[in-house]
Structure 1
Amino acid sequence: MLLKWHAVVLFSLISLSIGWYIKEPKEPKQAWGYVPVRANASMFWWLYYADSPTQNFTELPLIMWLQGGPGASGCGYGNFEEIGPLDSDLKPRRTTWLQTASVLFVDNPVGTGYSYVNDTLAYATDLCMVTSDMMTVLREFFNSRAEFQTIPFYIFSESYGGKMAAGIALELHKSIQAGKIKCNFLGVALGDSWISPLDSVLAWGPYLYTTSFLDDKGLKEVTASAKKILDAMNKREFKLATLLWSKAEDIIEQNSNGVNFYNILTPDTTSRASLSSTASETASFLKLFQRHVQYQNKDKLSDLMNGPIRKKLKIIPDHVKWGGQAQDVFANMAEDFMKHVIDIVDELLEANVNVTVYNGQLDLIVSTIGQEAWIRKLKWSKLKQFSEQNWKPLYTSPESTETAAFHKSYDNLDFFWILKAGHMVPADQGDMALKMVRMITHQNH
């Protein structure tokens, strides 16, 4: 086993030192590699240098993108379905974030995407382990790429990635203060984020009722199921709360004729046959995984990542299949899944770290009213002043007359309400997402 670990370390360090730089037609400069974070656990990263026609990458910020799940791949889904230079058909994306920043995708936690474990005991089981692993990655990244140490660095996230981003941002801030990591960290953006699972769950009924996806009877049933989750959380029975969460979603699907949890106005393409009611704990976790992670490993993207992209990257170990360990990633985080991190956001704000919250209007799983609910619970000393601000309408361009979003800001907290977007804001409203990125990173163009 020791020899195997040394082999993994050697292989990973060789890939890091080489950097695997390429420059292909229609593609920006890239680099990728593995970082061994613990024994039997290695994480994959993929960097795209900013591709602006007027500015060098050294004049633009660096953004790290964290996907949700846990178990969904940023190097796959975030890259090819949301913000990378190419879509899943390998056609140029008009609204890629590379126009305005370099982007670092990391498959996180270990076992996600191309990241992998060689021992089932090496999976992360809580936010603390996830954060520790990411510090190892970031320390190695900034040490080996000194050109990025002074470039403004931001963490952007989506869904469960936001919960992880909050913890990672706080630990990164502390590591920089302690001189352990050298980088110019300027803020974290939490997109449709699982910051307070309970507040999200309690908002399901009211949100669906006001959008006519539930009648009085349905609202009563969904509210009752949410109360069971609340009771479990109050008793600190976190794994039970996760299982009850699954049952609450079943009740929503039954009462709403299968509303799409990620965009209420888009048909749900999930195969309901594969989500039949089950009783065992294992089966319930499998159902949750299928509903919330597997759809991001859909066949087309999986074929791309395990075919042409794997061939291009050249460093993926033979035993690693993209997305092959995702189900185990999700299951190992089940105990931690329903825990909130409102206190971590409070610490970030009090430490003067810039925090942005953004949310899609049509998202159910993490509805905007649920986000507003946990923000009201912040103990941040400037919350009252933030709350008293008037929000301002935003437009995608000076010529546009249609409101694309609303924005409120005070000191180091920003909130963006993104209209006509679901859970995946950049996929649904690419132009507005790009404008938001430029506002957050202080680029006036």
Structure 2
Amino acid sequence: MVPKQYLAVVSPLLLLSLAAFSSGFLLKESKEPKQAWGYVPVRSNASMFWWLYYADNPAKNFTELPLILWLQGGPGASGCGYGNFEEIGPLDADLKPRRTTWLQAASVLFIDNPVGTGYSYANDSSAYATDLCMVTSDMMVVLRKFFSSRTEFQKIPFYIFSESYGGKMAAAIALELHKAVQAETIKCRFLGVALGDSWISPLDSVLSWGPYLYSTSYLDDKGLKEVTGAAKKILNAMNNKEYKLATLLWSKAEDIIEENTNGVNFYNILTPETSSLISVTSELTPFLKLFQRHVQYQNKDKLSDLMNGPIRKKLKIIPDRVKWGGQAQDVFTHMAEDFMKHAIDIVDDLLEANVNVTVYNGQLDLIVSTIGQEAWVRKLKWPKLKQFSDQKWQALYACSKTEETAAFVKSYDNLAFYWILKAGHMVPADQGDMALKMVRMVTRQDH
């Protein structure tokens, strides 16, 4: 069990300094935003870590701005680490203030999810989540505890934003949360979910890889044929409901892509530094290859040193046996059967329940390409899909001072789609200004 003092530890307004960290990380003296963090035991052998930042806007109190829950992907990637310090939190990985932090527009709640991710931990192997249902059940425990103990957020507009596999989890969590709010078992003003470069339909993503790489000159005719052939094998496995085999074939398809493209970056095709770790050796099992390509790079040395050093010291509540990211591989492999299953029907259920759904995607993402996202959206059974499809998209600009198109958006009723230009898989990291503008639009602060 988790000691009681872990359940709700609140920090006052803190002044970070070199002396506070004494580990070589430098930070300009600045006052941190108000924060809180803690652990919630979700089962007898598993606990999840959360970290809340109150909105930091000089013109508005946090009660005048929404609350956003951020869910990272993987599964096994840490929102408290990667999402926080590499994408949307108040400080970057060098502990310098981030100009485009989302705290300007909302309070942000990071939760290391599923169990075993980041600072969250499992006490034994039976505690790891194995499917979307288990992930959702654990998150309901955390959200119920959070809103019952932090009543100041019960009447504030609440949104879930996500990235990658986090989008698949976010859809399921959003639907269950909507039901809980309707049943009055959780008190909050849940207003919508945003699915960023999300693994909603893995098969549609995989089938798009060949055409996308061919259209961007990363494949020739022969390469296109090889990648398409690999994708069809995955399709056949899915049609036969052989989900674990489909995951293994997914790994082989990525090997074929790396061989044909000289190691294209799966997360941003124009970024030369590969996130996909083409140095992965052939002796590794397919699941370990997938883990190294899609999770381990988010636990890169610099961030790992930060989270297991200065941040751990600051938080003061991380159990000695828990290493940030130490259980990530187990999280990933335990979800192997679930990887290739789609969640299109869950999005349909959200739309039918009149929950606001936003889809956003980076133009330069390969692993979850935009054309793959468009493909699953076309499969929705939502009665208003035709009206949505008939809408003309609108050009967006990151700020009023530029005439360069930064994105396009199309919306109808409770569905919206944002095409983010010059961004890869991690939209806020690549196009911070446009991502912040999108947040304000989705949360109805900017139109």
**Does TM-score exceed 0.5, indicating one fold?**
yes
Residue 272 of structure 1 and its aligned partner are, at CA, apart by 4.7
**SS in structure 2 at match of 1:104:** strand
The percentage of aligned residue pairs carrying the same residue is 82
Alignment of 1:214-229 (within 5 A): 214-229=219-234
Q: Say if 2:376 is the partner of 1:374.
A: yes
Asked if the contact 2:437/2:446 (under 8 Å) is kept, the reply is no
Asked if the contact 2:8/2:36 (under 8 Å) is kept, the reply is no
> Which of 425, 428, 438 is residue 426 of structure 1 equivalent to?
428
What's the CA shift string for 1:38-62, capped at 9, x where partnerless? 0110000000000001000000000
Question: Measured at CA, do residues 272 and 28 of structure 1 come closer, stay the same or move farther in structure 2, by a change above 3 Å?
Answer: closer
Question: Measured at CA, do residues 221 and 18 of structure 1 come closer, stay the same or move farther in structure 2, by a change above 3 Å?
Answer: closer
Alignment of 1:104-143 (within 5 A): 104-143=109-148
Q: Say if 2:79 is the partner of 1:88.
A: no
Q: Say if 2:302 is the partner of 1:300.
A: yes
What's the CA shift string for 1:99-127, capped at 9, x where partnerless? 01000000000000000000110000000
What's the CA shift string for 1:297-316, capped at 9, x where partnerless? 00000000000000000000
The one-letter code matched in structure 1 to 2:444 is H
The one-letter code matched in structure 2 to 1:23 is L
Question: Measured at CA, do residues 125 and 393 of structure 1 come closer, stay the same or move farther in structure 2, by a change above 3 Å?
Answer: same
Residue 390 of structure 1 and its aligned partner are, at CA, apart by 0.1
List structure 1 segments (4+ residues) > 6 angstroms apart after TM superposition.
none
Query: Which residue matches 2:179?
Result: 174
The one-letter code matched in structure 1 to 2:418 is F
The one-letter code matched in structure 2 to 1:122 is A
> Which of 276, 281, 291 is residue 276 of structure 1 equivalent to?
281
Query: Which residue matches 2:263?
Result: 258
Query: Which residue matches 2:347?
Result: 345
Query: Which residue matches 1:15?
Result: 6
**TM-score with structure 2 setting the length:** 0.95
Q: Give the whole-Å Cα distance in 2 for the aligned partners of 1:260 and 1:117.
A: 32
Residue 385 of structure 1 and its aligned partner are, at CA, apart by 0.2
Q: Give the whole-Å Cα distance in 2 for the aligned partners of 1:377 and 1:270.
A: 30
Residue 398 of structure 1 and its aligned partner are, at CA, apart by 1.5
Question: Measured at CA, do residues 260 and 405 of structure 1 come closer, stay the same or move farther in structure 2, by a change above 3 Å?
Answer: same
Asked if the contact 2:266/2:276 (under 8 Å) is kept, the reply is no
Q: Give the whole-Å Cα distance in 1 for the aligned partners of 2:165 and 2:277.
A: 23
The one-letter code matched in structure 2 to 1:28 is P
Question: Measured at CA, do residues 419 and 36 of structure 1 come closer, stay the same or move farther in structure 2, by a change above 3 Å?
Answer: same
Alignment of 1:304-315 (within 5 A): 304-315=306-317
Q: Give the whole-Å Cα distance in 2 for the aligned partners of 1:399 and 1:214.
A: 38
Q: Give the whole-Å Cα distance in 2 for the aligned partners of 1:308 and 1:98.
A: 22
Residue 274 of structure 1 and its aligned partner are, at CA, apart by 4.3
Unmatched 5+ stretches in structure 2: 16-29
Residue 14 of structure 1 and its aligned partner are, at CA, apart by 2.2
> Which of 102, 108, 118 is residue 103 of structure 1 equivalent to?
108
Asked if the contact 1:278/1:284 (under 8 Å) is kept, the reply is no
Q: Say if 2:190 is the partner of 1:188.
A: no
The one-letter code matched in structure 2 to 1:376 is R
Query: Which residue matches 1:45?
Result: 50
Asked if the contact 2:77/2:299 (under 8 Å) is kept, the reply is yes
Residue 278 of structure 1 and its aligned partner are, at CA, apart by 3.6
Alignment of 1:323-402 (within 5 A): 323-402=325-404
What's the CA shift string for 1:102-157, capped at 9, x where partnerless? 00000000000000000110000000000000000000000000000000000000
Asked if the contact 2:8/2:37 (under 8 Å) is kept, the reply is no
The one-letter code matched in structure 1 to 2:389 is S
Q: Give the whole-Å Cα distance in 1 for the aligned partners of 2:376 and 2:246.
A: 18
Q: Give the whole-Å Cα distance in 2 for the aligned partners of 1:411 and 1:278.
A: 50
Query: Which residue matches 1:249?
Result: 254
**TM-score with structure 1 setting the length:** 0.96
Asked if the contact 2:9/2:36 (under 8 Å) is kept, the reply is no
Q: Give the whole-Å Cα distance in 2 for the aligned partners of 1:410 and 1:253.
A: 38
Query: Which residue matches 1:26?
Result: 31
What's the CA shift string for 1:199-236, capped at 9, x where partnerless? 00000000000000000000000000000000000000
Q: Give the whole-Å Cα distance in 2 for the aligned partners of 1:17 and 1:272.
A: 38
Residue 379 of structure 1 and its aligned partner are, at CA, apart by 0.2
The one-letter code matched in structure 1 to 2:62 is F
**SS in structure 2 at match of 1:275:** coil
**SS in structure 1 at match of 2:40:** strand
The alignment yields a C-alpha RMSD, in angstroms, of 1.1
Query: Which residue matches 2:25?
Result: none
Unmatched 5+ stretches in structure 1: none
Residue 267 of structure 1 and its aligned partner are, at CA, apart by 1.3
